[in-house]
């Protein structure tokens, strides 16, 4: 969906069928006398410093050759030290859970390490390429679903244990002031490395992405224009290539207060762009006269769609009724232009680098006049669309009740992989698809030496399969309490109540030690 579609009550696109007649309408001199500081466009846009900085990968920080490996690009952003920290925090969280009482499966926990964590993330990345309806089906022996790749990496029980215990920070160090505490170490590492190895391009754009999440969290957002309407919102500053240069996770208004205003968010993301001559493209949630003035003072041009109810908008532009193909534009003493163009619907835009120029655009073998602002805006905003589009091709997000794990998967296996892909293509000049890049990276992450992996992690084909058997005999004589249900109810309500609450079953596992009686949900849960 285009930005113009998202920012209007109408679902019509900014690219509409063309009519042969195009009239350019500007306000009369009588109207000009009543608009105060607004007047007809004169082309007096503000002069800012020219953009002369190098862009693309930072060669002095890389010290690499043009035949760089795919995994090397990824490890620039996600170094081995980060995987070590994730392994340490995962082990710490597991030990804390074990001390507080645990289920039968958690008792089987063994200490993990950096190599296994890399394999774990590599396997999730591969799952984004090979999609199945549920996680357990990747280890299924059913010919319809059978996959040999995950069985060579680790057992299903071990994968589910790691997914359950995955942690990024020590919960005991939380002071309650940072809602992103559980994921902050990952965010800090990535933000630093994103800027360290890549210089921003002249044209930059800001927009938001939504990580799907319907669980309970105070800063969950609802965006009706997104495919997944509920989730965690991330503001991204992107280069023309789709490279994410900076990001910010929205955590709600209660803690950040005035820092969550659109202008504050933009200025925070762009602090490294000040006084370098960049051009910033924004959607109508961000664009305002206040933002335009602040960016001019920082030598940054602003081009963006504009909401009609923004404070300071010229009413002659806002209220004017136009016919298709007409425009009306006003300019203030600072050279800020606000223009409305009628295509299938009204398009309202603001620019600090354009006047009211019209250009001839060829589309579908036809020619039409279109404002230069609109042409440049559509080109500038393509970066965020490109970023979201390539991330959506093979999204590895799997179901998880914990928001910070979903956020980690998004940052480490989507945003970072895409940045690595752009960096790799920029250095090597090779024409490789994002899917092929993900394939090779997944193989690398999962191809650690077997001796580095904790015992019990790797699944073996010779391992005996558990079977859910029915105890022969009269039901009333052979039935027993489901072992896991009884343990859960006894822990919550005591053994006396557990005997009343727990159902009795006639099925058991013929492979587990002691052949415990288990209901079907509990059997599937632990096997």
Q: What is the pLDDT of residues 109-134, one digit of tens each?
A: 899 999 999 999 999 999 999 989 88
User: Considering the domain boundaries, does residue 241 fall inside one?
Assistant: no
CA dihedral 61, 67, 73, 76 (to 10 degrees): -30
* Residue where one domain finishes, among candidates 431, 460, 489: 460
In this structure, the answer to whether residues 85 and 170 fall within a common structural domain is yes
- Mapped to the 3 state alphabet, what secondary structure does 81-132 carry? HHHHHHHHHHHHHHHHHHHCCCCCCHHHCCCCCHHHHHHHHHHHHHHHHCCC
How many residues are there in the chain?
527
Question: What band does 442 get if pLDDT is binned at 50, 70 and 90?
Answer: very high
Mean pLDDT score, 410-425: 94
Helices 382-393 and 434-446, packing angle to 10 deg? 50
User: Considering the domain boundaries, does residue 501 fall inside one?
Assistant: yes
In this structure, the answer to whether residues 61 and 160 fall within a common structural domain is yes
Listed ranges 94-108, 459-473, 479-493; the one with the highest mean pLDDT: 479-493
User: Considering the domain boundaries, does residue 207 fall inside one?
Assistant: no
Per DSSP, the three-state class of 61 is helix
Domain count, the chain: 2
Share of the chain above pLDDT 70, in %: 84
pTM for the whole structure: 0.77
In this structure, the answer to whether residues 74 and 110 fall within a common structural domain is yes
* Residue where one domain finishes, among candidates 429, 460, 491: 460
In this structure, the answer to whether residues 475 and 456 fall within a common structural domain is no
Q: How many CB atoms lie within 10 A of CB 461?
A: 8
Number of H helices, E strands in the chain: 22, 17
Joined together, the tokens standing for residue 97 give 């859970």
User: Considering the domain boundaries, does residue 383 fall inside one?
Assistant: no
Q: What is the pLDDT of residues 28-85, one digit of tens each?
A: 444 443 344 898 988 888 888 888 888 888 877 666 667 788 999 999 999 999 999 9
Listed ranges 14-28, 348-362, 452-466; the one with the highest mean pLDDT: 348-362
User: Considering the domain boundaries, does residue 254 fall inside one?
Assistant: no
What mean pLDDT, rounded, does the chain reach? Answer: 84
Local structure of residue 517 (DSSP, 8 states): B
In this structure, the answer to whether residues 409 and 519 fall within a common structural domain is no
Mean pLDDT score, 252-261: 69
User: Considering the domain boundaries, does residue 376 fall inside one?
Assistant: no
User: Considering the domain boundaries, does residue 148 fall inside one?
Assistant: yes
In this structure, the answer to whether residues 492 and 420 fall within a common structural domain is no
Domain carrying residue 117: 56-175+398-460
In this structure, the answer to whether residues 420 and 521 fall within a common structural domain is no
User: Considering the domain boundaries, does residue 111 fall inside one?
Assistant: yes
Contacts 24+ apart (CB under 8 A), 424-432: 424/68, 424/70, 424/73, 426/56, 426/57, 426/241, 427/57, 427/62, 427/64, 427/66, 427/68, 427/73, 428/66, 428/67, 428/68, 429/66
Of 462 and 83, more confident: 83
In this structure, the answer to whether residues 147 and 77 fall within a common structural domain is yes
In this structure, the answer to whether residues 411 and 503 fall within a common structural domain is no
* Residue where one domain finishes, among candidates 418, 438, 460: 460
């Amino acid at each position: 969906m285009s930005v113009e579609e998202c920012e209007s009550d109408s679902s019509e696109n900014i690219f509409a069928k063309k009519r042969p007649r195009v009239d350019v309408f500007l306000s009369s001199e009588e109207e000009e006398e009543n608009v105060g500081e607004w007047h007809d466009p004169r082309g007096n846009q503000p002069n800012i410093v020219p953009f002369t900085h190098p862009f693309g990968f930072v060669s002095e920080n890389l010290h690499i050759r043009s035949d760089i490996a795919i995994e090397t690009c990824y490890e620039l952003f996600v170094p081995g030290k980060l995987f070590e920290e994730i392994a340490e925090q995962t082990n710490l969280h597991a030990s804390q859970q074990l001390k507080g009482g645990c289920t039968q499966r958690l008792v089987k926990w063994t200490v993990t390490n950096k190599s296994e964590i890399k394999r774990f993330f590599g396997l999730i990345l591969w799952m984004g390429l090979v999609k199945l309806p549920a996680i357990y089906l990747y280890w299924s022996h059913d010919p319809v679903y059978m996959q040999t790749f995950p069985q060579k990496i680790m057992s299903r029980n071990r994968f589910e244990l790691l997914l359950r215990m995955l942690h990024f920070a020590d919960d005991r160090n939380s002071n309650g002031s940072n809602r992103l505490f559980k994921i902050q170490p990952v965010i800090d590492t990535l933000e630093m490395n994103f800027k360290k190895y890549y210089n921003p391009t002249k044209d930059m754009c800001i927009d938001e992405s939504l990580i799907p999440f319907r669980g309970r969290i105070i800063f969950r957002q609802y965006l009706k224009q997104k495919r997944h309407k509920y989730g965690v919102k991330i503001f991204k500053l992107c280069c023309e290539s789709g490279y994410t240069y900076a990001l910010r996770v929205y955590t709600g208004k209660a803690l950040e207060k005035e820092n969550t205003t659109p202008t504050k968010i933009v200025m925070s993301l762009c602090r490294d762009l000040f006084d370098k001559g960049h051009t910033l493209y924004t959607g109508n949630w961000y664009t305002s006269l206040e933002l335009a003035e602040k960016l001019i003072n920082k030598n940054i041009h602003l081009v963006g769609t504009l909401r009609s109810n923004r404070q300071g908008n010229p009413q002659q532009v806002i209220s004017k009724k136009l016919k298709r193909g007409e425009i009306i534009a006003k300019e203030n003493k600072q050279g800020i232009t606000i223009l409305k163009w009628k295509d299938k619907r009204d398009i309202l835009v603001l620019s600090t680098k354009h006047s009211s120029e019209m250009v001839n655009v060829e589309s579908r073998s036809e020619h039409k006049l279109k404002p230069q602002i609109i042409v440049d805006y559509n080109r500038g905003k393509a970066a965020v669309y490109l970023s979201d589009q390539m991330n959506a091709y093979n999204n590895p997000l799997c179901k998880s009740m914990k928001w910070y794990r979903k956020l980690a998967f998004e940052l480490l296996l989507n945003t970072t992989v895409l940045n690595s892909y752009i960096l790799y293509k920029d250095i090597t000049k090779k024409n490789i698809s994002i899917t092929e890049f993900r394939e090779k990276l997944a193989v690398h992450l999962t191809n650690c030496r077997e001796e580095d992996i904790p015992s019990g992690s790797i699944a073996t084909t010779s391992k005996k399969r558990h079977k859910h058997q029915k105890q022969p005999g009269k039901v009333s004589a052979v039935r027993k309490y489901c072992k896991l249900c009884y343990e859960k109810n006894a822990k919550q309500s005591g053994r006396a109540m557990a005997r009343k609450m727990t159902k009795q079953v006639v099925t058991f596992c013929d492979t587990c030690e002691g052949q415990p009686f288990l209901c079907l949900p509990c059997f599937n849960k632990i096997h």
